[in-house]
């Protein structure tokens, strides 16, 4: 039961790290002229790309630490700072469609990267993976990533409905709430890194 609770908590954290309001806003801005089928395909490809990228970084993050000689605590501090900057960016967002002009398939760039899996979320996922103490922890993290990516798919799948229901103001408010949650997560990550570094 504790493992299930931890996995559910990780799913919520990961979903917040994926900045759903920013992804939804960009998705709505880029897909205005597309058909419902085309939007569904982009939603599936975006969530799949987020899950695959997240899994690679989650499972092999510790190897990346060893390759570049990073310590886990140093990376916690760095990713926490980036996460805090992301939170500040969300708090200052007014809900307008992002001015991103991209030709061709938008599911991977810019939706999956850098919006869904940006520097801050990548750093946090790598820290979580490196902190896993057993194969059960790794499996729980992968499942949590899948759940978070699945909810991202549902959000984009219902993007038109969500966009009409929330409006620009609603998306901006949701973004600010997400920013507050990310700021709290960032503070905890930085605090943990500093305590570990001082020891």
Nearest 5°: the CA angle 190, 61, 42 is 95
What string of DSSP letters covers the chain? -HHHHHHHHHHHHHHHHT-HHHHHHHHHHH-TTS-HHHHHHHHHHHHHHHHHHHHHHHHHHHHHHHHHT--HHHHHHHHHHHHHHHHHHHHH--SPPP-----S--IIIIIIIIIIS-HHHHHHHHHHHHH--SHHHHHHHHHHHHHHHHHHHHHHHTHHHHHHHHHHHHHHHHHHHHHHHHHHHHHHHHHHHHHHHH-
For position 149, what pLDDT does the model report? 96
Q: pLDDT (tens digit, 0 to 9) for every residue of the chain, 199 residues total?
A: 576 777 888 899 899 889 888 898 889 878 888 899 999 999 999 999 999 999 999 998 778 777 888 777 887 788 788 778 877 877 776 655 444 444 557 898 889 987 898 766 888 898 888 888 888 888 999 999 999 999 999 999 998 898 888 887 887 787 788 778 778 878 887 898 899 888 8
Which residues contact residue 116 at a Cβ distance below 8 angstroms, ignoring those fewer than 6 apart? 18, 19, 23, 46, 49, 50, 152
Nearest 5°: the CA angle 184, 190, 193 is 140
| CA dihedral sign of residues 60, 47, 166, 90 | positive
* Structural domains counted in the chain: 1
Residue range(s) defining the domain that contains residue 186: 2-198
What pTM was computed for the model?
A: 0.76
For position 96, what pLDDT does the model report? 54
The backbone torsions φ and ψ at residue 17, rounded to the nearest 5 degrees and listed phi first, read -65, -25
The span from the CA of 13 to the CA of 181, in Å, is 8
Buried b (16+ CB within 10 A) or exposed e, 117-145: bbebbbbbbbbbbbebeeeebbebbbbbb
For position 72, what pLDDT does the model report? 74
For position 36, what pLDDT does the model report? 92
For position 82, what pLDDT does the model report? 78
């Amino acid at each position: 039961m504790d493992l299930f609770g931890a996995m559910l908590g990780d799913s919520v954290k990961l979903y917040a790290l994926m900045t759903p309001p920013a992804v939804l806003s960009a998705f709505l801005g880029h897909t205005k002229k597309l058909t419902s089928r085309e939007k569904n395909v982009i939603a599936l490809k975006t969530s799949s790309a987020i899950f695959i990228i997240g899994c690679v970084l989650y499972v092999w993050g510790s190897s990346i630490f060893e390759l570049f000689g990073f310590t886990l605590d140093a990376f916690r501090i760095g990713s926490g700072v980036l996460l805090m900057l992301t939170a500040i960016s969300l708090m200052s967002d007014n809900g307008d469609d992002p001015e991103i002009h991209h030709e061709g398939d938008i599911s991977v760039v810019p939706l999956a990267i850098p919006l869904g899996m940006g520097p801050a979320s990548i750093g946090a996922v790598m820290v979580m993976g490196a902190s896993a103490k057993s194969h059960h922890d790794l499996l729980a993290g992968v499942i949590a990533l899948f759940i978070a990516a699945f909810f991202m798919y549902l959000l984009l799948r219902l993007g038109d409905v969500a966009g009409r229901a929330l409006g620009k103001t609603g998306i901006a408010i949701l973004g600010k709430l997400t920013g507050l949650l990310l700021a709290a997560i960032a503070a905890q990550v930085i605090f943990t890194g500093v305590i570990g570094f001082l020891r």
